Amino acid sequence: MRVMILGSGVIGVTSAWYLAKAGHEVTVVDRQPEAALETSFANAGQVSPGYSAPWAAPGVPLKAIKWMMQDLAPLRLGLTADPRMYSWLFKMLMNCNEKSYRINKARMVRVAEYSRDCLKNLRDELSLDYDHRTQGTLQLFRTQKQVDASLSDIAILEECGVNYQALDRQGCINVEPGLRHVQSKYVGGLRLPGDETGDCFKFTQALAKACEAAGVVFKYDTEIDGLLTTGDSIDGVRTSEGLLTADRYLVAMGSYSPLLLKTIGINAPIYPVKGYSITIPLVDEDKAPQSTVMDETFKIAITRLNDRIRVGGTAEICGYNLKMPPDRQRNVNHSVGDLFPGGGDLSNATFWTGLRPMTPDGTPILGGSKYRNLFINSGHGTLGWTMSTGSAKYIADVISGHKPEISSEGLGIERYGSARAPRLKAQYAG
């Protein structure tokens, strides 16, 4: 069967791998000249199944107001004329309750834990060089109030069977020795030893090469302009290189997925949440992190990538805006400079921004659509790499007509009750 994947980020490339392994003839289409040049390029570097939780949680609306009032604000809201932003925000607010949080977190953990297992199996099969480390994630608490608030998350981790360690100050130093230089800055932490770190760009590029060796065709520098539909079927993809056809189509375009899907009457509630990162050269091993440290106060992830340190954070809801105001770099600079002073060379930091494709309930959209040969693998938010291999294996099974290895409950677009668009005669959409 011929399968066409739209998008060559970590989601699209992992999907290509599993579909090729299933025996399909796979083509990947992307506007970029290489794989993983957009959201997958310089993310925080975490594979964090234990840290999988929806942003929509009890108390978040009040916290969000406080965050936006901070000097180093972890959340920013830019007013736009885009009604989709306000619709998405409303849906997210409707999920900010205890019942929804527990349901959504359980769904996310289901996918993330499965993805962790798939990634381990993939590493056993392929030798991929991507600065990989398996030393867990440390969520660092600067106040006792944060320690107390973590108890509800710990309860859910226990329900989901996720391994964790509640640490005091010395416990934090034992797993991250560099923190001994700043002991007055924090009071404790929550460690998730099953989490991993690495460079998502390196991973995706290496896997893309393995895909090519397995027969996958990558059509780079190719703009996707629209979809050709007849009744309940997709007949082709209109591109800058002409009409491309296949038997099955998979949309894996991150934040741009809903824009394409909307042209054929599918309302996917995915909205871009802008994030920033810096990558700095390592200068002192003794003062640098060993794995990932999450600064809970500023919502910043500080990750070790061999001879570099990646620092990522800030959630900016401002539409498809890729501008990089210099003051945004101050947020990410502060955490690494405050917790690991002298570990990296901030004067040589490389600044980057990307759009995280977020759903209002946190769970990605995985599965089929109202078109019998169109499938979706998108909306992973900040957990694209964390959930990539599991989402890809799941969607490959769905497309292949095989029973997935995890439950499908709550993963498809039907959970939003999207209205069906009227069936039209053959036409170009977009």
The tens place of each residue's pLDDT in the chain, 430 residues long, gives 999 999 999 999 999 999 999 999 999 999 999 999 999 999 999 999 988 989 998 988 887 887 777 777 788 888 788 899 999 999 999 999 999 998 999 999 999 999 999 999 999 999 999 999 999 999 999 999 999 999 988 887 888 788 999 999 999 999 999 999 999 999 999 999 999 999 999 999 999 999 999 999 999 999 999 999 999 999 999 999 999 999 999 999 999 999 999 999 999 999 999 999 999 999 999 999 999 999 999 999 999 999 999 999 988 999 999 999 888 898 889 999 999 999 999 999 999 999 999 999 999 999 999 999 999 999 999 999 999 999 999 999 999 999 999 999 999 999 998 544 333 333 333 3
Count Cβ atoms below 10 Å from residue 104 Cβ, excluding itself: 23
Cα(322)–Cα(255) distance, integer angstroms? 12
Q: By the 8 A CB rule, do 52 and 112 touch?
A: yes
Residues 391, 267 contacting (CB under 8 angstroms): no
Q: How far is the C-alpha of 245 from the C-alpha of 233, rounded, in Å? A: 12
Q: Check residue 418 and give its pLDDT.
A: 56
* 295: helix, strand or coil: strand
Phi, psi of 339 (to 5 degrees): -95, -30
Q: CA-based angle 188:153:382, to the nearest 5?
A: 95
pTM across the whole model: 0.94
Cα(378)–Cα(38) distance, integer angstroms: 14
The angle at the Cα of 20, spanning 8 to 213, to the nearest 5 degrees, equals 80
| C-alpha distance from residue 299 to each of 25, 140, 152, 363 (Å) | 42, 10, 18, 20
According to the model, what pLDDT value does residue 186 have? 98
Strand partners, 355: 274
SS3 content of the chain, % helix, strand, coil (to 5): 40, 25, 35
- The answer to whether residues 227 and 234 touch, using CB atoms and an 8 Å cutoff, is yes
The phi, psi pair for 61, rounded to 5°, reads -55, -45
What is the distance between the alpha carbons of residues 8 and 294, in angstroms, rounded to a whole number? 28
d(CA 396, CA 390): 10
DSSP for 103-160 reads HHHHHHHHHHHHHHHHHHHHHHHS---S--B---EEEEESSHHHHHHHHHHHHHHHHT
* C-alpha–C-alpha distance, residues 315 and 14, integer Å: 26
- Rounded to whole angstroms, the Cα distance separating 280 from 284 reads 12
pLDDT of residue 211: 98
- According to DSSP, the residues that pair with 126 across neighbouring strands are none
Q: Are 429 and 229 in contact (CB under 8 A)?
A: yes
